[in-house]
């Protein structure tokens, strides 16, 4: 089975959308996405600097829009992966790719998610740091000592810690043996209790959103499970805003379901990197520009899609 994966916040870089706008109809589609998400995604993806696109209210719809734009470009070639999964906000793109959500609803929802999480992040001074290497149990125990939350279990020897800035500084000053602590340029402690206000906002919006059961195998960040009910998939996505992302369990489930290839859509690279460490031998393609679509199509045509 060849699967599509969609990245989360932090994968965006200045100007990364420029080559995609050269495709027929792409600019018009992105302008529509902008109206739905209430962000100028054309300018954000081609002109704005790193600080401006780091803003949660901008980054989230920008990433999902790019993922869906690049996924649609591959779909138009007739190549379509058999399964989908998304990391954090990438789950919205995954639900749209699996036809659980209409694309318009996906862009409205991600615009709201970005704004709600940005607002929640202003209420207390919090942040996130990647912890690379070390024993996972020892890392989690150290985070607990400091009152931090393991917000992302990314696999491949990486956990993202989240919580108060003072506690994150303590972690950096006295890291677990064998680890490196890398502060992340994000606005708050995502996927923790600090995001509870955003969950409330999204719960109300999700209740009014039409869903369908997935048309492709769909994995959930909550526990790596395959989800076959569309309403359950959306409810999980909403609750995930204030609970840890278990990408490690997703990758373990990929192996159990005999995944034979992975295609990461724009802005691609992060999830392919994790897969290369945790799923050794599984071919992976990062679709960063339209030039990468040929390799993605070849992976599907050469595998059991």
- Residues that are catalytic: 88, 191
Are 284 and 269 in contact, with CB atoms under 8 Å apart?
no
Read off the DSSP letter of residue 176: P
Cα–Cα dist 279/266, whole Å: 20
Tokens representing 272 are 């392919």
Closest C-alpha to 217, from 110, 66, 100, 104: 100
How far apart, in Å, are the Cα atoms of 107 and each of 53, 89, 96, 170, 209? 17, 11, 9, 38, 12
Are 241 and 191 in contact, with CB atoms under 8 Å apart?
yes
Phi, psi (degrees; rounded to nearest 5) at 266: -60, 145
SS in 3 state form for 248-298? Answer: HHHHHHHHHCCCCEEEECCCCCHHHHHHHHHCCCCCEEECCCHHHHHHHHH
Q: Is the peptide bond before 267 cis (omega within 30 degrees of 0)?
A: yes
Q: Tokens 């890398």 identify what position?
A: 182
Q: Tokens 């998610």 identify what position?
A: 113
């Amino acid at each position: 089975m060849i699967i599509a994966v969609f990245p989360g916040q932090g994968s965006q870089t200045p100007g990364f959308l420029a080559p995609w706008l050269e495709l027929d109809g792409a600019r018009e589609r992105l302008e529509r996405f902008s109206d739905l998400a209430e962000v100028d995604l054309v300018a954000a993806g081609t002109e704005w600097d790193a600080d401006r696109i780091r803003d949660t209210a901008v980054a989230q719809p920008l990433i999902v829009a790019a993922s869906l734009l690049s996924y649609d470009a591959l779909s138009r070639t007739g190549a379509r992966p058999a399964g989908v999964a998304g990391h954090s906000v990438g789950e919205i793109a995954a639900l749209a790719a699996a036809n659980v959500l209409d694309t318009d609803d996906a862009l409205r929802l991600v615009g709201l998610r970005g704004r709600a999480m940005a607002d929640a992040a202003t209420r207390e001074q919090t942040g996130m740091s990647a912890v690379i290497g070390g024993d996972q149990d020892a890392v989690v125990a150290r985070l607990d000592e400091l009152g931090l939350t393991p917000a992302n279990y990314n696999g491949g020897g990486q956990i993202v810690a989240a919580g108060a800035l003072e506690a994150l500084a303590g972690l950096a000053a006295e890291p677990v043996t064998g680890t490196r602590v890398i502060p992340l340029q994000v606005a708050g402690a995502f996927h923790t209790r600090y995001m509870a206000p955003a969950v409330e906002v999204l719960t109300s919006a999700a209740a009014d959103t039409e869903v369908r059961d997935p048309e492709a195998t769909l994995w959930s960040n909550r526990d790596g499970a395959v989800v076959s009910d569309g309403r359950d998939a959306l409810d999980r996505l909403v609750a995930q805003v204030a609970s840890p992302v278990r990408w490690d369990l997703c990758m373990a489930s990929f192996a159990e379901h005999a995944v034979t290839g992975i295609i990461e859509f724009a802005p691609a690279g992060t999830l392919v990197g994790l897969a290369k460490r945790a799923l050794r031998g599984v071919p992976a393609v990062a679709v960063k520009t339209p030039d990468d679509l040929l390799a993605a199509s070849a992976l599907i045509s050469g595998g059991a899609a």
